Chain A
Amino acid sequence: METTQASSIHGIVAEFSNSNTLKAAARKVRDSGYKKTDAYTPFPLEGLSESLGVRDKWVPFIMLMAGFVGSVSGYTLALWAMGIALPLNIAGKPTNSWPLFIPPTFEMTVLTSAIVGVVSMFALNGLPMPYHPVFNTPNFDRASTDRFFLSIEAEDALFDEEGTMAFMNTLGADNVSVVEK
């Protein structure tokens, strides 16, 4: 039973018109043990990721590491160019005139961290992804205006179409629908 159903549907999505109801619902979904869940809101709703139990700290870490790589490579570039590739005596300054290499080092730090950070943010989010089954949800284009959606995906270990549907119907949603892949 599960194999045929689970392959054809993406999950069950509930639509809310009220952000507080959504937050309460998200907490209930988390407390019921569902893991493959997501919420869709027109703006980052404060506290929702905590209610849903979303926790991902990779982006800040990647940005820190990228900044570190950027600063080392910026400094190395300056030192290599001025010390090895083209050693020139400028006003008797030492080969490793480190205070003068700080500005390019700083700029390289910021540049690397920013670019790597944004690229990895999109990559971790799985974007770009032009098509996603959740777009099949009725009324979903209003997720970018004034509607709030909560989904439990079919891949979740606890998912069972009827039981999950019955559970979602208790959450105070305006509309609950099964979404095809």
Chain B
Amino acid sequence: MPKQPAETETEVTGGAMPPGNDRRSLRDMLTSVPQQYDPAMQDQIVGSHHTLESVTAQIADVALRRPVSLGWVISMFVSLTLLALMIVSVTYLILEGVGIWGVNVPVGWGVGILSFVWWIGIGHAGTLISAILLLLHQNWRTSINRFAEAMTLMAVMCAGLYPLLHVGRHQYVYWMLPWPNSMGLWPQFRSPLIWDVFAVSTYFTVSLVFWYIGLVPDLATMRDRAKPVWLKKFIGFFALGWRNSTRHWSRYNAAYLILAGLSTPLVLSVHTTVSWDFAAGIVPGWHGTIFPQYFVAGAVYAGFAMVINLGIPLRSFFRMKDLITMKHLENCGKFMCITGNIVFYGYLMEIFTAWYSGVVFDKYLTFDNRMYGPYAWSFWLLIFCNGIFIQLIWFKKVRTSIWGLYIVALVVNAAMWLERLVLIPFSLTRDFLPSSWHMYYPSFWDYATFAGTLGLFFTLFFIFVRLLPVISIAEMRELVHHEHHVDEMGANDPELIGGLKV
């Protein structure tokens, strides 16, 4: 809009717009006294009092200026304690072998594998938010993509540990890679287990690259804002000398967009491949064509639940309620609602297919073992959590209440762990021959390793929130610029103000 004499982006415009008050005149909005964050502001994705300067300062200063708080120290202490537990359990595992876990014959895949699947699933929301929502022009993704991507990386690290630990002979871990070895052996490319090696390692690498290039402009911002010279140099090293040049930005945007396009099928491929680990086997309860679809849906479901579980404390500890607003949390809740119901549909279809196929083993597994067998409690608890409890999210009251969302998300995370427990080890307890049936009891070390990976995850996460911008600063500036721009055009053309609502 060249005819506009001045842009309002460097000034404070308007007050916070209360929900449902769209009829308030534009002049009022533009001239009213700037307000601080208004908790009633639910429909906005960034507080309207924000400017380029304020949004930059607020995010960068968490890492640069804010002193270490007691809450952070306590959280870090708890995480490090759990991490120590992981080190102990992994050391013991390497010394003694996988016999310290509760796995047996026929239940060769226990808590280790189910935790692998759970962690991989958690990792899915990050890439979905950063790639798919970017391609779909959902700007609300902007303030949650950075920490969701970090969450992805950390979750995939935790997941990646399990196959390495589970092989038993840890010195031969590299046999999983297509790497020439003295035995002349090569990995079996016809096996989903090797596809998994490719999928998970590619997923980790591409997510890391995606996360890093997103960080480069923000590191440059941090470099420019840092006071001590050594800190400037230290951050500057990782910022690669980024100088916000337009020539750079245009190549950067092209690379970022194509990377998002590549990540979109990638994220769908990862949990699909994980599900093939099961679906390609003939074990009753595993051998279903619905697996890829509902594994992917389940992954996104658990991932958004984790975004909510991490985002709610994050915005409150670092006073970012005007950057991560109720709108973001509600949208995550909506995603949980959709994907959760796809997962529930998956359960129902599994039951239907078992009945409709007429295969005696599938029917036995579903109707006799899962529903009324020794582990019936886990199946019915799962149906309750993922089938009935999740329906609460349909209610706007629940979706827009912090505690409501937090509790639902917590239940979802637990339920997704339970789902894999029902699916993976409990299906193995009773296969074709009753003579080979065996119960499965996870041992102390199973739980200790899992708790340990939680420690690893949270340790890395707490380090991340202290040292790096938890929200993409450059993208937030773009968003603030865009919002004010629409505001400004709206001042001439009342029709356009509708475009402000996201």
Given known contacts A19-B7, A101-B189, A107-B269, is B477 in contact with A135 (CB within 8 Å)? no
B478 — nearest CB in chain A belongs to which residue? A43
Given known contacts A110-B266, A117-B255, is B56 in contact with A90 (CB within 8 Å)? no
Bound-state CA distance A41–B205 (Å) is 29
- A-side interface mostly: helix
Q: Which residues of B contact A107 (CB under 8 A)?
A: 195, 198-199, 202, 266, 269
Q: Of B190, B194, B475, which is within 8 A of A43 by CB?
A: B475
Give the tally of cross-chain contacts (CB within 8 A).
200
Q: Does B317 contact A (CB under 8 A)?
A: no
Contact across chains for A141 and B477 when beta carbons are under 8 A apart:
no
Q: Does B113 contact A (CB under 8 A)?
A: no
Q: Which residues of B contact A143 (CB under 8 A)?
A: 224, 243-244
Chain B's nearest CB lies how many Å from the CB of A163?
A: 23
Q: Which residues of B contact A130 (CB under 8 A)?
A: 236-237, 241
Q: Of A103, A127, A131, which is within 8 A of B199 by CB?
A: A103
Contact across chains for A114 and B2 when beta carbons are under 8 A apart:
no
Contact across chains for A82 and B190 when beta carbons are under 8 A apart:
yes
Contact across chains for B265 and A125 when beta carbons are under 8 A apart:
no
Bound-state CA distance A115–B478 (Å) is 26
Contact across chains for B255 and A63 when beta carbons are under 8 A apart:
yes
Q: State how many residues of chain A have any CB contact under 8 Å with chain B.
A: 67
Bound-state CA distance A131–B184 (Å) is 49
Contact across chains for B2 and A88 when beta carbons are under 8 A apart:
no
Q: Which residues of B contact A106 (CB under 8 A)?
A: 265, 269
Bound-state CA distance A104–B199 (Å) is 7
- B-side interface mostly: helix
Contact across chains for B186 and A128 when beta carbons are under 8 A apart:
no
Bound-state CA distance A107–B206 (Å) is 10
Q: Of B1, B51, B187, B190, which is within 8 A of A97 by CB?
A: B190
Interface size class of B (residues with CB under 8 A): 35 or more
Q: Of B187, B224, B249, B266, which is within 8 A of A145 by CB?
A: B224
Q: Which residues of A contact B263 (CB under 8 A)?
A: 110, 114
Q: Of A45, A57, A78, A108, which is within 8 A of B246 by CB?
A: A45
Q: Does A49 contact B (CB under 8 A)?
A: yes
Bound-state CA distance A144–B262 (Å) is 28
Contact across chains for A114 and B205 when beta carbons are under 8 A apart:
yes
Bound-state CA distance A63–B223 (Å) is 30
Q: Which residues of A contact B254 (CB under 8 A)?
A: 57, 59-60, 121
Q: Does B182 contact A (CB under 8 A)?
A: no
Chain B's nearest CB lies how many Å from the CB of A128?
A: 4
Could you give, for residues 14-39 of chain A, a 1 whenever the CB lies within 8 Å of some chain B CB and a 0 otherwise? 00011110011000000000000011
B212 — nearest CB in chain A belongs to which residue? A118
Q: Which residues of B contact A43 (CB under 8 A)?
A: 217, 249, 474-475, 477-478, 481
Q: Does B492 contact A (CB under 8 A)?
A: no
Bound-state CA distance A19–B188 (Å) is 57
Q: Which residues of A contact B213 (CB under 8 A)?
A: 118, 121
Contact across chains for B190 and A104 when beta carbons are under 8 A apart:
no
A-B pairs, top 10 by smallest CB distance, nearest first, are A141-B224, A146-B52, A128-B240, A103-B195, A81-B186, A121-B255, A43-B478, A107-B198, A44-B249, A78-B189
Q: Which residues of A contact B (CB under 8 A)?
A: 17-20, 23-24, 38-45, 48-49, 52, 54, 56-60, 63, 67, 77-78, 81-82, 85-86, 88, 90, 93, 97, 100-101, 103-104, 106-108, 110-111, 113-115, 117-118, 121-122, 124-125, 127-132, 134-135, 141-146
Supply 8 further A-B pairs (C-beta < 8 A) apart from A49-B250, A77-B178.
A38-B246, A38-B247, A39-B245, A40-B243, A45-B481, A103-B273, A107-B269, A113-B258
16 intermolecular pairs with C-beta atoms under 8 Å apart: A23-B2, A38-B246, A44-B478, A45-B249, A52-B246, A57-B254, A59-B255, A82-B186, A103-B269, A107-B269, A110-B206, A115-B209, A117-B259, A121-B213, A121-B254, A146-B9
